[in-house]
Amino acid sequence: MNSAADVRTDGLPRPADAPADLVAAEALGRVVNLSSVKRRFDPQLVQTVVDHMTLGDELAYSAWKALRPVKARGRQMLNQALEEGIDAVENPPVELVRLFEHVDTVPDWVDWDQLRRGSVAIWRVGRFVPICLGYSSIGFGFSSYGGTKALNFTRLLIDEDRAGARMAETLRWVAAVTSPDGMRRNGHGFKYSVRVRLVHCAVRFGVGHSPKWQWNEWGLPITNTDLFFTTSKVFCANLVSALELLGFRYSDQEKEDIFALWRYIAYVMGVPDELNHVDVADSLYKNEIVLAVEREPDEACRILLHSLIGYSTQSTDGYQPIPVWLMGNMTQRQKIVMSYGLLRQLTSDEFCESMHIPDTRFKYVVKAASRLIALKEMVARRLPHDDTRAALATLRDVKAALAIDDDEKAIASADEVGRAIQKNEADLDTTMRRPVKL
């Protein structure tokens, strides 16, 4: 139970390390149109979405803070808990025990067969999945005004010498959690998610302790709402939508299976039940609310997206969803125009206008290609096919290209995050406002 000092004037609990004068959620600078949005949607649900813009993953944050002082021993305890279970750890801090009590509890609504079907449905379409993850998922996620600010502080997705590793990290995590049975207790995706959940805590700590973090403008670094939006909208709904825009077709059952998988991923990542989606319709409805109350993207958001475009059109490292023979015969400018066209086709004109993505003729090339894909998909679905075999083959290719010997090195460490934030504080104002040029 929170003491009086831990409860804000609006009655909500004050997150650990948050300032005493943190404003009520509806007064945050990132929140807009609240009255009109409450008239359009369920007002109680709108308030829940907004309230969670000042609330975060206290369970994991307290565990991370308990492990932080013991450094190597803390990493050892985490690794042992992941591999052998929390009962195998000698004298673990109570905060770590509570975290594992949560992640080790599988909700009643989890149907492992359904989650496996969701995994197969995602990856059966082949190498187009990473394209959509890059542009429609990760790219679209950068439009979140408040949700991107922690990324600007770290610059891990801006600086060319680090962007590639961190982009690969994100794709590696998605491949792990969406692999068939990857979210089982001993699955790679489950373990990866717990590690990433704690890295989020390191980001929250480092960014939240920066004197330049604007609490009453952006809210808590990495809020529950941000995490819900990332799992439910960015990596789930947007991925399905983009693949359908490319010409693939999912049955209603396949969509429910995919959304059920991401519901459980979100649960393990710390999204509260009152915010997490329960099915496709619930996800779409709640994310409409998130988009309606979030301030429009600013220059800091656009910097992240255009940095992604710059990196993806220059680097040849890691998995290459677009054929090398095609990329190798294109100039740098042509590659950028191609990226603009993909964004125009796989997201929306409204999004692209807000993120200063030019309207190029290449989008018509993508539209033409989508018609061919749709025709091929229609024929292929009528012929005998093995979706599981196709999905596993795609995942083998993706994972081989993104492979790394040490899982811990695959994730940005707490020390790396801390150093990045301290290094970038001096020129943060310039970083978040510099004009975008490609």
Task: Please write down the HEC assignment for all residues of the chain.
Answer: CCCHHHECCCCCECCCCCCCCCCCHHHCCCECCHHHHHHHCCHHHHHHHHHCCCCCCHHHHHHHHHHHHHCHHHHHHHHHHHHHCHHHCCCCCHHHHHHHHHHCCCCCCCCHHHHHHHHHHHHCCCCHHHHHHHHHHHHHHCCCCCCCHHHHHHCCCCCHHHHHHHHHHHHHHHHHHCCCCCCCCCCHHHHHHHHHHHHHHHHHHHHHCCCCCCHHHHCCCCCHHHHHHHHHHHHHHHHHHHHHHCCCCCCHHHHHHHHHHHHHHHHHHCCCCCCCCCCHHHHHHHHHHHHHHECCCCHHHHHHHHHHHHHHHHCCCCCCCCCHHHHHCCCHHHHHHHHHHHHHHHCCHHHHHHCCCCCCCHHHHHHHHHHHHHHHHHHHHHCCCCHHHHHHHHHHHHHHHCCCCCHHHHCCCHHHHHHHHHHHCCCHHHHCCCCCCC
Q: Looking at this protein, which amino acid is placed at residue 390? A: A
- pLDDT for the residue 23: 92
- pLDDT for the residue 334: 86
Tell me the pLDDT tens digit for each residue of 268-281: 999 999 999 999 99
Q: Report d(CA 374, CA 285) in Å as an integer.
A: 27
- For the chain, what's the residue count? 438
Tell me the pLDDT tens digit for each residue of 334-372: 888 888 999 999 999 999 999 999 998 888 888 898 899
Q: Report d(CA 64, CA 201) in Å as an integer.
A: 7
* Structural contact between residues 153 and 369, judged by C-beta atoms closer than 8 angstroms: no
Terminal CA-CA length for the chain: 52
Number of Cα atoms under 13 Å in the Cβ half of residue 336: 13
- pLDDT for the residue 99: 98
Q: Report d(CA 87, CA 97) in Å as an integer.
A: 9
Could you report the average pLDDT of every consecutive run of 10 residues in the chain (438 residues)? 57 90 94 97 98 96 95 94 97 98 98 98 94 90 93 66 67 94 97 95 91 94 97 98 95 98 98 98 98 96 86 61 65 86 92 94 88 92 94 91 57 59 58 48
- pLDDT for the residue 44: 97
Task: Say what the pTM is.
Answer: 0.91
- pLDDT for the residue 2: 43
- pLDDT for the residue 351: 95
- pLDDT for the residue 73: 94
The four Cα atoms 239, 244, 250, 252 give a dihedral, to 10 degrees, of: 80
- pLDDT for the residue 437: 46
- pLDDT for the residue 304: 86
